[in-house]
Amino acid sequence: MTDPADLLRRMMEAAIAAASPERAVPPHLPAPPKGRTVVVGAGKAAAAMALAVERHWPGDLSGVVVTRYGHGVGTDRIDVVEAAHPVPDAAGRQAARRILDTVRGLGEDDLVLCLISGGGSSLLAAPADGLTLEDKQAVGKALLRSGAAIDEINCVRKHLSAVKGGRLAAAAWPARVVTLAISDVPGDDPAVIASGPTVADPTSFADARAILKTYAIDPPAAVRRHLEAAEDESPKPGDRRLARAETVLVARPQDSLEAAAAVARKVGVTPVILGDAIEGEAREVAKVHAGIAFQVARHGQPAPAPAVLISGGETTVTVRGGGRGGRNAEFLLGLAVALGGAPGIHAIAADTDGIDGTEDNAGAILGPDSLARARAAGLDPAAVLADNDGYGFFQALGDLIVTGPTRTNVNDFRAVLVAP
């Protein structure tokens, strides 16, 4: 069999390439309108998506998109603004206001081409009336540390925003709005991707209040008053201002998992796709993956070795320690502890955007010898896991994967390879 680490890396590269905006965007571009074409957007892939539009659009266009710091590219007609993620900053607030101003005042013959990808929730940082950026930052930080799922986090974000939850499309009425989206969320729900700025919102202020209560988050007083007043509800299904808005998913996590599976299949390794929408605490998801890997190794089920278990989705981490590390490093460290150095089992976990949480790595790679090497270096894997320091663990081993920004985002990619 081919070198396990090399195979896992090539599978990850194929998963990322499958979601490349240059590949995904052009086939889905609409016909040019009679009037103006205005491009707006937000997300980690927004700049690369804008460049793909420029290269393939047959007519005039203008506009502005916002992406994460370091994820920009050179464009000629569409302005690219960089801002902070995952905690919003003033640049994101200013960009969101500019995007709203860009789509206002358009007519029925005009087209708004909206480019949306993961990360857009933080980057479109226009607070609702009566709230400040600092209010949004405080709630966002608390949610990110709480272990809340992405749909829960985005529900709260929608109800603190002047642009999310369909409000951007409402501002563009009566222009036609076509949203091209790269999905980074379990289930590929357009209303959740970047908090659905052009999509009707089925959630409510009451839902947002319940989520904060569930995770024992005490928000700033202004946020509490805003949620309790429940004024200016987000546009709901059937709202006439969204009647001319449509969304097209141009890349999905499943597409990337299938691309990775094809790489494994070519070298005689059986791919088993466990799911593209796996959620839960990263260390608990790791235990389940370890159990399935043992089933392959011991019993040849659900496939005989060599086989590779592939999964996507978005795990969460409830932060209790003081270490460094995103959810993919946490997953891999949890997997290492669960496997206990079992022979023949290798793994990789990475965020397809190239950034695991807030660190500089995309993820890491794990081998059967990782635990032994860690202990030889004086590390206690269980203690490191308790401190949420997956980054520090794999940094010490030299096994971090650093790609830099990939300028796309279909969320987590995990592969557990069981060799003969």
Q: What is the pLDDT of residues 206-234, one digit of tens each?
A: 999 999 999 999 999 999 999 999 998 99
> How far from 259 is each of 11, 151, 300, 404, CA to CA, in Å?
8, 26, 24, 21
pLDDT band at 419 (very low <50, low <70, confident <90, very high): very high
Averaged pLDDT, 330-350: 98
Averaged pLDDT, 94-98: 97
Structure confidence at residue 144 (pLDDT):
86
pLDDT at 182 over 90: yes
pLDDT band at 358 (very low <50, low <70, confident <90, very high): confident
Cβ-proximal residues to 241 (8 Å cutoff; 6+ apart), any chain: 169, 170, 173, 235
pLDDT at 149 over 90: no
Separation CA 194–CA 181 (nearest Å):
9
Averaged pLDDT, 156-162: 95
Domains of the chain in start order, with CATH, are 4-14+254-418 (3.40.1480.10), 31-251 (3.40.50.10180)
DSSP at 128 = P
Averaged pLDDT, 137-165: 93
Averaged pLDDT, 184-188: 91
Structure confidence at residue 2 (pLDDT):
82
Q: What mean pLDDT is reported for the chain?
A: 96
For the stretch 6-23, pLDDT in tens is: 999 999 999 999 999 999
Phi, psi of 133 (to 5 degrees): -60, -35
pLDDT band at 298 (very low <50, low <70, confident <90, very high): very high
pLDDT at 1 over 80: no
Structure tokens at 183: 């999905």
How much of the chain, in percent, has pLDDT values that exceed 90? Answer: 93
pLDDT at 195 over 70: yes
Instruction: Give the three-state DSSP class for 83.
Output: strand
Tell me the H-state helices in 215-369.
Answer: 221-229, 253-266, 282-299, 327-339
- Tell which phi-psi region holds residue 195, choosing left (phi > 0), alpha (psi between -120 and 50) or beta: left
